[in-house]
Amino acid sequence: VPEVECRLDPATGRLELHIKGIVGPACDDVAAVVREVLGRPALEQQTADYAVRPRARVAPRVRARRP
Amino acid sequence: VSKYLHFESEIFTDRHLLLGALADLGYREVEEGEALPLYGYEGGRRAETAELVVRRRHVGRLSNDVGFRRTDAGFVPVVSEYDRRTLLDGRFLVRLRTAYSERAIEALTRRLRGTAHRTVEGGVVTVRVRF
């Protein structure tokens, strides 16, 4: 399940967000919404599975029967 | 995890969220305008101006006006050195940032049409927004 994990430390006011469950650059769309609401972050890092490409689902081939 | 973002700046990008965060801290009376003058605790006009101002009568007897100057990056606090040290036990900006972030997370949840699951551990608040 895609999620944004927000960790807020009231002692410092520091807020960290992890965008999880979205492989590949698709999470840029979510990051754009985050930036729209929260502004430009002090730090933004892509993590290991950012480079993972979502697997394309191949539709099963259907053979037409000859009449 | 595919992306990590970290916020701790003193700049508040969203006016609506900032006004809400100020209200959460009890500062509901906020003047809005262009280049409003700021006054010190003795009533003297200070050099700075701001677009959002909490007048000192709403802040504290010995306090100065607290302002927020609008810039291209967002609203920047204009808070005297005295008020930084004393207001809300010297934690005014940290508490404002925390209240702002709480409201921002709520706004993010609405934007993503998600559901929020909140837990607190060791004082740190974790909100998981699933969408």
Instruction: Tell me if chain B has a CB within 8 Å of the CB of A43.
Output: yes
Structural tokens at position A29: 């769309």
Check B3 against A50: CB less than 8 A apart: yes
What's the pLDDT at B9? 76
A29 neighbourhood in chain B, CB within 8 Å: none
**What average pLDDT does this structure show over B27-49?**
94
User: Quick check: A62 pLDDT over 70?
Assistant: no
User: Quick check: A37 pLDDT over 90?
Assistant: no
Please tell me whether the interface predicted TM-score (ipTM) of this complex is above 0.90.
no
Which of A44-48, B85-89, B108-112 shows the lowest per-residue confidence on average (mean pLDDT)? Answer: A44-48
**What percentage of residues in chain B have a pLDDT greater than 90?**
82
